[in-house]
Amino acid sequence: MKKIIILCFALSLVCAGCAAFQKQGSEPASASKTQGFNQAFYGFPDVPVPKEVEIVNERSFVYETPTFKAGVIVFTGNVDPASLESYYKVNMAKNGWKYINSFRYKDIVLNYAKEDKTCNIKVSRGAFQTELEIWVGPADKGAFPKSTPNGPK
């Protein structure tokens, strides 16, 4: 009987150790995680993500070619949706994004653009956690005229 208890205990320790190693390596290899003060970058080096949220690999993907990169990255965490909205209103401008518009009712949707791409950020409050979706895709080349010293042409 003692041997069975010791064997079960040893087996549970091995399983716990394997789970700990598996959790450490759960980030996708393609997600570059460059750290800032309280932020990280996953897949897109100009779209910051607060460290309070965790990536949901099963619902995230990034498509990349030599000249094009697009995708959706999903995160969850116990974060106030209004604080995520404030975070993105401050930090997207710091990364060169132009604020286009936002929608707010049940969910919060923020839309940003650069000369060659767009970013849509959706914040949803669930029953137990907040979900953050970041969508990045190409922009229509003619939609955002380049600024010149004399104004747009």
Q: Dump pLDDT digits (tens) for 59-96.
A: 999 999 888 899 999 999 999 999 999 999 999 999 99
- Distances, alpha carbon 123 to alpha carbons 3, 51, 132, 134, in Å: 52, 15, 5, 9
Segment 103-115, tens digit of pLDDT = 998 999 999 999 8
Residue 149 has pLDDT above 50, yes or no: yes
Q: Which residue has the higher pLDDT, 73 or 2?
A: 73
Alpha-helical (H) ranges within 25-142 are 81-94
Of 15-29, 55-69, 73-87, 122-136, the one with minimum mean pLDDT is: 15-29
Name the CATH architecture for the domain at 26-138. Answer: 2-Layer Sandwich (3.30)
Q: Give whichever of 78-82, 136-140, 146-150 has the largest mean pLDDT.
A: 78-82
Within 10 angstroms of residue 32's Cβ, the number of other Cβ atoms is: 14
Question: Is residue 150 helix, strand or coil?
Answer: coil
Determine the average pLDDT of the residues in 96-100: 96
| Domain extents in the chain | 26-138
Residue 43 has pLDDT above 70, yes or no: yes
Q: Which residue has the higher pLDDT, 67 or 55?
A: 55
Residues 6+ apart with CB under 8 A from 92: 47, 48, 99, 110, 112, 119, 121
In DSSP notation, 102-114 reads EEESSSEEEEEE-
Phi-psi region of 43 (alpha: psi -120 to 50; beta: other; left: phi over 0): left
Per-residue pLDDT at 86: 94
Tell me if 62 sits within 8 A of 69, measured CB to CB. yes
pTM equals 0.68
Determine the average pLDDT of the residues in 125-137: 94
Single-letter residue type at 129:
Q
Determine the average pLDDT of the residues in 42-52: 90
